[in-house]
A = this chain, B = another copy of it.
Amino acid sequence: MTDSKMLPDRPRSDGRAVNQLRNIRFENGVAPNAAGSTLVHWGNTRVICAATIEEVVPRWMKEQQVPGGWITAEYSMLPYSTTDRKARDISKGRLDGRSSEIQRLIGRSLRAALDLTKLGQRTLWLDCDVLQADGGTRTAAITGAWVALNLAIRKLGSAGKLTTNPIIEQVAAASVGIVEGRPLLDLCYVEDAAADVDMNLVMTASGKFIELQGSGEESTFSRSELDQLLEVGRTGIEQILELQRAALT
């Protein structure tokens, strides 16, 4: 981290305050064939989150006779989501490492939201496709996936396919980071590219952590910097949780 002594009230690149989220809204039903879907608008970032249901469980669950269901996630950036066109995975012949890492994170985060034993013997797929990338796509994906998941669970419930509600946690995510010496909430792309420290928090409505991933981007951070980031992130996530709830009423 640079030790530059920035004035704390210097405006951010897009005019926000240090602890201010970008505008976030959910456009539900964008993919009507899915069991649940939402297009998350998160500043200039846009992510399609869709939940689909397969009435089978993965082979390893069958073989090990694990009861209940499973949640699995896939994440991809559409080729036109970035300013320079991004080649499709299939053109390169392999899933890129970053996408693989992110979809594993989404899967773990959302599995913590459910009591999988109450899901029934089915797999819930959470697909997150980035339509426009301006930083924070993974936190937007997790946050939107929770909304899509709820819409799908409702649909299963209405169809009489669930005996009890399997949802046990409300889950949202936010990014925080240290940019030019200041802890910032919800980094956009230019901030993310300039960040010394980059952290993603996945938390529940009960204020607990599900995932916490902090990285000094070829740099380091101290314990007190960590504490500041956790505090900034917590307050951001509280607001996001509220927006999720509003999107489902």
Contact = CB atoms under 8 A, between A and B. Distances in A.
A209 B220 contact: yes
A3 to B, nearest CB: 13
Contact of A30 (B44, B112, B131, B209): B131
Given A210-B215, A210-B216, A211-B216, A52 B80 contact: yes
A79 interface: yes
A47 to B, nearest CB: 12
Nearest to A79: B127
Interface size class of A (residues with CB under 8 A): 35 or more
Interface stretch (A4-12, A16-24, A92-100, A135-143): A92-100
B33 A80 contact: yes
A193 interface: no
A218 interface: yes
B98 A104 contact: yes
A154 interface: no
Given A127-B79, A131-B48, A112 B33 contact: no
Contacts of A90: 88-90, 94-95
Chain copies in the assembled complex? 6
A176 interface: no
Task: Specify the main secondary structure of chain A where it touches its partner.
Answer: mixed
Contact of A218 (B48, B52, B78, B112): B112
Interface stretch (A157-165, A180-188, A222-230, A241-249): A222-230
A28 interface: no
A166 interface: no
A76 interface: yes
Interface string A188-215: 0000000000010000101111111111
Interface of A: 30-34, 37, 44, 46, 48, 50-54, 74, 76, 78-85, 88-91, 93-95, 97-98, 100-101, 103-104, 108, 111-112, 116, 125, 127, 129, 131-133, 169, 199, 204, 206-223, 226, 230
Query: Which 8 residue pairs spanning A and B have beta carbons closest together?
Result: A208-B220, A50-B80, A34-B80, A89-B90, A52-B85, A212-B214, A97-B100, A101-B101
16 contacts: A31-B78, A31-B132, A33-B81, A97-B101, A97-B103, A100-B101, A108-B215, A112-B216, A112-B219, A116-B218, A169-B220, A209-B214, A209-B216, A209-B223, A211-B216, A212-B213
